[in-house]
Amino acid sequence: MSKYKGKKVLIVGCGTSGIAAAKFLVKQGARVMITDTKQRTELSEPLKELGDLKVEFEFGGHTERSFLGAELIIVSPGINIPNHQLLQVVKQKGTPVTSEIELAVGELEQPLIAITGTNGKSTLTTLIGEMYKSDQKPAFMGGNLGIPLIEYINQGQTGQVAVCELSSYQLEMTEKMVPAVAIFTNIDQDHLDRYGTMENYIAAKKRLLKVCDRNSWVILNYDDPVLQGFANECSGKLIWFTMKDPMKVGGEFAEKFFGAYFDETRNSIIAKVTGKEEIYPLETFKLFGDHNKQNLMAAICAARVMGVSQQGIQSCIGTFKGLAHRLEFCRKKDGVYFFNDSKATNIQSVQASLSAFKRSPVILIAGGKDKNMEFAPLAPLVKSKVKLLILVGEAKEKINRALGDFAETYLVGTFEEAVLVSFQKSRNGDIVLLSPGCSSQDMFRDFEERGDYFKKLVNQL
């Protein structure tokens, strides 16, 4: 009999993962209530998924009664737990409070490849999933990206492995999960509007390191100073990836190197994770920028230790096209190249995109909703690469104060104006790059709506 049978479960948040958790729990015989601060009319899309499953609802706010009456509470990643008064009350009372991810890993029958970091999670998750596919091995890919992990359980978990993107929000409640592979792409300032300090943000990410055991592979970015520090607290089997040649780093790192690095002279990734050296040429790799080489290295390490063949990986390198809204090429018009990087919602991702353009002058469109970011670290790249800075949205004044002295800068009132000015001011060979460094919710529903609108405007030029 299911341990959830007859249990009163409260799901806080009626998003995709909350709905998928409700489906799972109802099938297990639980008595499920979903509570959300939004009204039913605003939630009609996710609610469709539930069909006629027996679930109770509480819309337009949460009541103390529903929290106190629950025997288990599942909290959606959007909820800020320490600031949530009712959650603090029930926690003190001793009611178990957990997440959809923890619920799912308790049921997962296959190895878990867990991916976190500030940037590159979605690209890396998809890359690894595609490597499995290229090798004719079924794999689930999802989590924070696309399908929630509990939905994979609902659908009968038919893959060989679950490749799962995990945001810091999802990791906050992680306790039971023991990943077969844990990957950390990088750590830089992000979500400071929720965490307040970098320490708190890093602590949330570090939850994934803490749950690894001695059999877990832990894949870390050697080029990231914070992640170098993670190595000291790692109880798993450590694998590095780096843009540096380990022989040039020298010492013990070179002698005992286990992982992957980029060999510039051979334009190849060299991987040492199987007992012999493997070479992955990059002539056919379509993604721009060193950051995507880093993503690829991490993916190769994970896929190889999990038994994906070298041929499967090499074939994926040639076919992988990247994801929409991540340094996505849109169009060439009158000699000007337009790129949509709407998913760049923090400083590091803007740095990565600007660095990807080695020679051409860049017209950068930035701005949006500020996440309490410090924009000054962008100054050197703006100075060296950006011909014109076009600022839009809520954060435009703040960005102007931090960066306006390093390039010719325009503050515009609308997104349409931003695109129009970018084109009017461009010349043959220029790059127009939308890489906002901010989230989108000041003007759009999400980064996808922003990127799609940018592409539409660009295509109308």
Q: Report if residue 409 touches ligand ADP, rule: CB under 6 A.
A: no
Rounded least distance, CB 125 to ligand ADP, Å: 7
C-alpha distances in angstroms, 393 versus 397, 400, 404, 442, 444? 9, 12, 15, 7, 10
Q: What is the DSSP string of 6-63?
A: T-EEEEE--SHHHHHHHHHHHHTT-EEEEE-SS-GGGGHHHHHTTTT---EEE-SS--
In terms of CB distance, is 121 or 205 closer to ligand ADP? 121
Rounded least distance, CB 352 to ligand ADP, Å: 3
In terms of CB distance, is 344 or 390 closer to ligand ADP? 344
> Token pair of 406, please?
């390093």
Name the β-bridge partners of 184. 116, 220
Rounded least distance, CB 31 to ligand ADP, Å: 35
Rounded least distance, CB 326 to ligand ADP, Å: 4
What is the number of residues in the chain?
Answer: 461
In the list 17, 353, 422, 439, the residue contacting ligand ADP (rule: CB under 6 A) is 353
In the list 130, 151, 341, 370, the residue contacting ligand ADP (rule: CB under 6 A) is 341
Rounded least distance, CB 327 to ligand ADP, Å: 4
Amino acid (one-letter) located at 392: V
| Helices 121-134 + 310-319 axis angle, to 10 | 120
Q: Report if residue 119 touches ligand ADP, rule: CB under 6 A.
A: yes
Q: Report if residue 182 touches ligand ADP, rule: CB under 6 A.
A: no
DSSP symbol at 425 = T
Type and span of the H or E element at 449: helix 447-460
Cα angle 327, 330, 335 (rounded to 5 degrees) comes to 110
Count CA within 13 A, CB hemisphere, residue 391. Answer: 22
Chain position whose Cβ is nearest to ligand ADP? 120
Question: Is the Cβ–Cβ distance between 9 and 73 less than 8 Å?
Answer: yes
Question: Is the Cβ–Cβ distance between 449 and 321 less than 8 Å?
Answer: no
Options 15-23, 155-163, 236-244, 345-353: segment touching ligand ADP (CB under 6 A) = 345-353
CA torsion 404→407→411→414, rounded to 10°?
-130
With residues binned 3-state (H G I as helix, E B as strand, rest as coil), the percentages for the chain, rounded to 5, are: 40, 20, 40
Options 39-47, 63-71, 147-155, 349-357: segment touching ligand ADP (CB under 6 A) = 349-357
Rounded least distance, CB 167 to ligand ADP, Å: 8
In terms of CB distance, is 74 or 438 closer to ligand ADP? 438
Amino acid (one-letter) located at 83: N
In terms of CB distance, is 36 or 142 closer to ligand ADP? 142
Rounded least distance, CB 120 to ligand ADP, Å: 3
Question: Is the Cβ–Cβ distance between 436 and 418 less than 8 Å?
Answer: no
In the list 17, 99, 168, 186, the residue contacting ligand ADP (rule: CB under 6 A) is 186
Q: Pattern 279-308, binding to ligand ADP, x per CB under 6 A? A: ------------x--xx-------------
In the list 349, 409, 426, 439, the residue contacting ligand ADP (rule: CB under 6 A) is 349
Distance, in Å, from the CA atom of 287 to the CA atom of 328, rounded to the nearest integer, reads 9
Q: Report if residue 439 touches ligand ADP, rule: CB under 6 A.
A: no
Rounded least distance, CB 271 to ligand ADP, Å: 17
Distance, in Å, from the CA atom of 201 to the CA atom of 305, rounded to the nearest integer, reads 29
For ligand ADP, how many residues bind (rule: CB under 6 A)?
19
Question: Is the Cβ–Cβ distance between 260 and 273 less than 8 Å?
Answer: yes
Rounded least distance, CB 66 to ligand ADP, Å: 33
Contacting residues toward ligand ADP, per CB under 6 A: 119-123, 185-186, 291, 294-295, 326-327, 341, 343-344, 348-349, 352-353
